[in-house]
Structure 1
């Protein structure tokens, strides 16, 4: 009989099976507290056992009450947690189909045995695989599915679900809602005692990227500094590694590139210890971003090429898209316009039918700048307008400031001065909305 079949077995029949498997008579199991006739009714399903009866029978059979009640083999929860951790590592290494099969099987078994914390993590892992495939709608639904059974999950897992859900919402163009959800969860966590440092670190990490992109550097720096304190107490290496990778973006944004590079170096080390190849590759992508911002374009190109190759090996659609966009920007800045355009064309199918507003805006901005450099000013105008519209809806203020400036310049080059002035004003408003003082 499989584990799942045991979970579906009637309780009375399970008691009878366990009793006869030990070679006991009904009297031998029931006495001294109960008699044979009482146990016969329980086994036949004519008398549902009370909690007191279950506790007595479980003790006699050498089981826990839940093992008897739900047909759990001893140690099944620990076994399922181990299987899920191993499968998550397989996901990180690109064995997506294999990992998804384990996640789905573990979810079913955990539900059969009434292990809601394990079931929650299995559901989270399934949603994470959709995130890796860049299925934002599916991932969002998956994280919400996990949250429905999260009441008995550990605090770190509940926080991680909020982290990933908010990342999906941010990428889909709902930045304000994403940040508000994380800040609400953080407030609820801190209202309790004691505060779980892993959960706090996950939520603080979730705030850094959207706040930086929204231009809210005061708040992003506060989240980063609070995260440093939480990281010193955290026990989960993967949470600490993610924090180092995300905090690098803040330090780069406030003009501390050496500190950003040190954070990424530490993140690579920690992810390497875990065998998390996907996250190691994402660190190389992040380092390419920092190098590009520093104007070290040859180094940025090498780092981003490496990141894209590694992300391709682990089948991370989301990572391939982001690293390629950044690589195309580097090649554009190096004057390789045709190559930059080809890079964007190669990943365009990955955006079809998807909700990633931030990536779509970046693609249109890049294509608009390439069109401008090639002398196609009307084409550049159309593409930059599309990018600005997406950025205005999605609230990445730092991107909107730059796009508005480029759009204004292109319109001015066509002697469309009223429209150019309107674009510049849009950029000024975006800059005014952003908190750009790094507060060192």
Structure 2
């Protein structure tokens, strides 16, 4: 369907066109509310219609005031929203170019019709394209553009904009700013269960990585109660995926696996293949932590292949690094090194993944007997992680660095590495 969407026709000319399309005379349209002469001046543009007259004419035409004012076809807002929903499924299933073209077209049409809520949704969808392509700066810029229109958006969309903006700040090494904004939105007491669940989900991973386990657990427990009232399956699924990290950290691995399985089911039920694949990645991570390496390798390989097919660079990078960790633990350091090298150009866009991959390269070097390279890379990884306040990761890396230094007989430096690891541990909540 083609929409006019741009204000190329003066309002008076539009009123005349709508009148003549119906076969009405000026008197038939104007009376009894207004006289024919006044309507004639409105149609020629010599007199602007008042708000009251616009409301009167809109009612005569069977339109809303905004449909008359902005030349909106009846029902166009719902059609544009449905188009964005379809485009989002295209994006989730890897049809990135099709989705991007659709989102840009709808954004232009919505702007022409002065549909701020629909334009906001379109701008958010454009940010999702950048997110999928691992263009963190581009995604944040689009989200900030969407945020300018967010006052007109529904609560769930405002919450998702904040969720993704927080994620961009986290990936850029500024997790504190992301957490602060999410918590400020929650403090404003969102009156919509989907919006609140979305915001709680946004808190869990950055809090976990910054050592805030107690705060993350509170968010997970609050979200678990709230999920029963939420109506959007994708929001419930996203919560289950995030909450699984908390259950794993407190020793409830079975609950974590159940949450990931349910998240995958819900994402698949709405055609969100990208997010379903990310659940498989998360399952692989958990299975690796549980020592079930063969299962982890199978799950991560499947997730990696699906994310590559979909075109999700961010997911591909993360799943590949995690698969490399599994292969290292399965005594295949050369394969692990090749996997990391394959996605290395992507990793600079995500400070967490960069720190993890740099540390992994250090572990691989140690496994290959190159302690000098291992020490250099582990030092670099620890600095990245401390700089981004990723306390939990910095603790593990510092311990590995200390062990490598001790192997080389550098005991004073090893003790210093262990001490810095303890300092990082002090930055956590336990």
**What residue number does 1:329 align with?**
325
**What residue number does 1:291 align with?**
287
Name the CA distance, whole Å, in 1 between partners of 2:111 and 2:5. Answer: 12
**What residue number does 1:119 align with?**
119
Question: Could you report, residue by residue, the CA deviation over 1:286-341 in whole angstroms, capped at 9, with x for unpaired residues?
Answer: 00000000011011000000100111111111110000000000000111000000
**What residue number does 1:70 align with?**
70
Q: Structure 2 vs 1, CA of residues 2 and 28 (structure 1 numbering), >3 Å: closer, same or farther?
A: farther
**What residue number does 1:400 align with?**
394
Name the CA distance, whole Å, in 2 between partners of 1:21 and 1:189. Answer: 49
Cα drift, residue 259 of structure 1: 0.2
Equivalences for residues 356-375 of structure 1 within 5 A: 356-375=350-369
SS of 1:48's partner is: coil
Name the CA distance, whole Å, in 1 between partners of 2:217 and 2:246. Answer: 7
Equivalences for residues 338-377 of structure 1 within 5 A: 338-351=334-347, 354-377=348-371
Give the counterpart of 2:410 among 392, 401, 416.
416
SS of 1:232's partner is: coil
**What residue number does 2:202 align with?**
206
**What residue number does 2:172 align with?**
172
Equivalences for residues 24-63 of structure 1 within 5 A: 24-63=24-63
Runs of at least 5 residues in structure 2 that lack an aligned partner in the other structure = none
Equivalent pair of 1:7/1:72 in contact (CA under 8 Å): no
Name the CA distance, whole Å, in 1 between partners of 2:351 and 2:324. Answer: 18
**What residue number does 2:13 align with?**
13
Equivalences for residues 378-397 of structure 1 within 5 A: 378-397=372-391
**What residue number does 1:253 align with?**
249
Q: Structure 2 vs 1, CA of residues 5 and 220 (structure 1 numbering), >3 Å: closer, same or farther?
A: closer
Runs of at least 5 residues in structure 1 that lack an aligned partner in the other structure = none
Question: Could you report, residue by residue, the CA deviation over 1:145-191 in whole angstroms, capped at 9, with x for unpaired residues?
Answer: 1101111101110000000010111011111111111111111135x
Cα drift, residue 7 of structure 1: 3.7
Cα drift, residue 26 of structure 1: 1.2
Question: Could you report, residue by residue, the CA deviation over 1:23-59 in whole angstroms, capped at 9, with x for unpaired residues?
Answer: 1111111111111110111111111111100000001
Name the CA distance, whole Å, in 2 between partners of 1:6 and 1:338. Answer: 58
Q: Structure 2 vs 1, CA of residues 251 and 63 (structure 1 numbering), >3 Å: closer, same or farther?
A: same
Name the CA distance, whole Å, in 1 between partners of 2:409 and 2:31. Answer: 98
Name the CA distance, whole Å, in 1 between partners of 2:175 and 2:414. Answer: 27
Name the CA distance, whole Å, in 1 between partners of 2:189 and 2:160. Answer: 13
**TM norm structure 1:** 0.96
Give the counterpart of 1:262 among 249, 258, 271.
258
Give the counterpart of 1:302 among 298, 304, 311.
298
Once the two structures are overlaid, the 10-residue window that deviates more, 409-418 or 153-162, is 409-418
Equivalent pair of 1:147/1:161 in contact (CA under 8 Å): yes
Q: Structure 2 vs 1, CA of residues 6 and 395 (structure 1 numbering), >3 Å: closer, same or farther?
A: closer
Equivalent pair of 1:324/1:343 in contact (CA under 8 Å): yes
Backbone CA RMSD of aligned residues: 1.2
**TM norm structure 2:** 0.98
- Whether 2:74 is the aligned partner of 1:98: answer no
- Whether 2:417 is the aligned partner of 1:427: answer no
Name the CA distance, whole Å, in 1 between partners of 2:107 and 2:5. Answer: 15
**What residue number does 1:183 align with?**
183
Name the CA distance, whole Å, in 2 between partners of 1:246 and 1:5. Answer: 40
